[in-house]
Amino acid sequence: MPLGERLGDKSESRYCGVETEFDDDMPQLLSFNISSGGFDFVVSPLMNPTYRPSLMENDSKGSGVLPFAGSDLVLSPSQWSSHVVGKISSWIDLDSEDETLRMDSEIALKQEISWASHLSLQACLLPAPRGASCANYARCVNQILQGLNNMQLWLRIPLEKSDDDAVGGSSDHLVGGEIDSWEWWNSFRLLCEHHNQLSVVLDILSSLPSANSLGRWFGESVRAAIIHTNSFLTNARGYPCLSKRHQKLMTGFFNHSIQIVISGKPAHSLPIGSSELAANDADNHVEGMQRHPLRSYLDYVGYLYQRMDPLPEQERFELGYRDFLQSPLQPLMDNLEAQTYETFEKDTVKYIQYQRAICKALLDRIPDEQVSTITTVLMVVGAGRGPLVRAALQAAEETGRKLKVYAVEKNPNAVVTLHSLVKLEGWENNVTIVSSDMRCWDAPEKADILVSELLGSFGDNELSPECLDGAQRFLKLDGISIPSSYTSFIQPVTASKLYNDVKSHKDLLHFETAYVVKLHNVARLAPSQPVFTFTHPDNSKKKSNQRYKKLQFEIPSDTGSAMVHGFAGYFDATLYKDVHLGIEPSMATPNMFSWFAIFFPLRTPVCIRPGSPLEVHFWRCCGSTKVWYEWCVSSPSPSPLHNSNGRSYWVGL
């Protein structure tokens, strides 16, 4: 049974598994661990641990059928698929100096995975690499991946601090005098060409690396975390519990759909006569059935899961968008559909901020003594279906100012809705609807205030600068633009899922496209930095919307090495004076969902070592018919220049 219920959470992290020894009676193994133990699946060896291919060469029968596993008929296909993760034999060592062991390992690995595939298992757990060199192991796994069905291969990686002597690794894998096991994973996945069916399972022991070091794993393809019984502490009542750092890590796993697997022998003896023991014994109503020795650990994991805060309504709404790549809007080339308007209009937070900004602008523009004599001319450029018109009129009512509104909209379908809205609300005397592109309209009078919502996830990526440049000619010299400025930001991220999703298209075009995406399974490797800023109105004589920025990011030294798959982009906008809105993580407007981040991929991910800065270049380029971005990395190793001349991705003027 799942760990519990959390509103809106239907992710795989609700399910908890248990690592078991080899048992040739698989039905009994499942009955004990799942039916009576309460676990959801077992991680179990498929082959008898005593089996070695080289010992079978003298098989006189020569049948070719190897006695390494029981029949597939002992469980139904759905039981194999939903309740068993195959555990590849731990004796396997494909980089051993011993040729017999190496050959035995290769044969056994391929036999076991072939058998697991035959059983339609969802995943197989591969043993951890045994040293710094894992080239032959990775070669064999990569061979297998080329012909594998939908089964996932999970590579076991220890998440612990180790002395150099304990593992015998090279200095490449050291961070502050300790082994950095992320390097094993990185070497392995590079040799396997970032294959999307190769994932990580982390072994959680009693000591944990730094928070920054742990954080980078949330951008990797981690499927499960194996927590050992000897990593648990004992609470005052004698029950197993975890340290505060372990608890925080587990919560992070739950939030990232990473399943927990409990492993090891019981390290705690529950107090005799405890209420929990009695309750669980009552659950085990089958006569003579023993209470599962690891049940108290499962119950504690369930307790940690259940005490997490429920997902907020906004997060539940966004669940389906997590790590899903979407092409950005082309607001000038394409007319938005009703469903898109509907989604944006539900974002009340955004319009509250706009209303606040308009209120402040009206108060600054018209002193109290002139309220009855002066009417402010406000133009909403890109009025859509009218939410900013409504915000402006509500601001006028709130401040007691007289307002004349021009609603300028190029989408003829939205204009139909605007006319209905004005009639329905009785705004005919206050609102004039203009069906025109703001860049072409010849305004009958100048505006005191120009209001727009043309911002994209990267600020200027939906051509707000070009549109407002065109509209600026009908703003008074002392007029106010809302927004008055906006700045884009980027930060380097580990985003294994996003990289593999882009890579799956097998072409250049997708690697040179910026995507709108609700970032979730990512590791943000350094604080974001500002890229391009635009201010409105812009009264400079030599006006250009082309931009270039060189940025240098320092990854914290205790993070260890990390893989940069691309860059997350955000924006922050000043609407008016101290009223702002944006999605840059350190100052994001709470509970606003109109914008997800933007993601700029790298064709070849860049590995960053501790103390080695990441130097990045971004360009905003303007042509007669389009605007586009180009980007590259110049240090620690140069990348290709992405999207040269806007060959793959551009926004049409």
Task: Establish whether 437 is an annotated binding residue.
Answer: yes
Distance CA 181, CA 220 (A): 13
C-alpha distances in Å from residue 25, one per residue of 44, 72, 75, 522, 609: 11, 12, 10, 41, 48
Cβ atoms 127, 88 nearer than 8 A: yes
| Residues 473, 475, 477: CA angle, nearest 5 degrees | 100
- Active site (annotated) includes residue 12: no
DSSP bridge pairs for 635: 615
Task: Establish whether 51 is an annotated binding residue.
Answer: no
Helices (H) and strands (E) in the chain, counts: 18, 28
The separation between CA 490 and the C-alpha centre of its own chain, rounded to angstroms, equals 15
Catalytic option among 19, 112, 453, 630:
453
- Residue 275 carries which side chain, given as an amino acid letter? S
Task: Establish whether 446 is an annotated binding residue.
Answer: no
Number of Cβ within a 10 Å radius of residue 620: 22
The dihedral over CA atoms of 319, 322, 327, 328, expressed in degrees to the nearest 10, equals 80
DSSP bridge pairs for 581: 573
Ranges assigned E (strand) in 113-264: 123-126, 152-159, 174-175, 178-179, 198-204, 222-228, 233-234, 240-241, 259-263
| Residues 475, 479, 482: CA angle, nearest 5 degrees | 90
- Burial of 63 by CB count in 10 Å (0-12 exposed, 13-18 middle, 19+ buried)? exposed
Task: Establish whether 103 is an annotated binding residue.
Answer: no
The secondary structure element, H or E, covering residue 283 is helix 275-283
| Residues 15, 47, 81: CA angle, nearest 5 degrees | 35
Cβ atoms 527, 612 nearer than 8 A: no
- Active site (annotated) includes residue 220: no
Catalytic option among 106, 183, 220, 462:
462
Residue given tokens 């809106």 in the structure block: 8
Residue given tokens 């992405």 in the structure block: 642
- Burial of 471 by CB count in 10 Å (0-12 exposed, 13-18 middle, 19+ buried)? buried
Task: Establish whether 409 is an annotated binding residue.
Answer: yes
Task: Establish whether 350 is an annotated binding residue.
Answer: yes
Cβ atoms 531, 492 nearer than 8 A: no
The dihedral over CA atoms of 184, 207, 230, 246, expressed in degrees to the nearest 10, equals -100
Binding residues: 341, 350-351, 409, 437-438
Residues taking part in catalysis: 453, 462
Q: Residues at the annotated binding site for S-adenosyl-L-methionine?
A: 341, 350-351, 409, 437-438
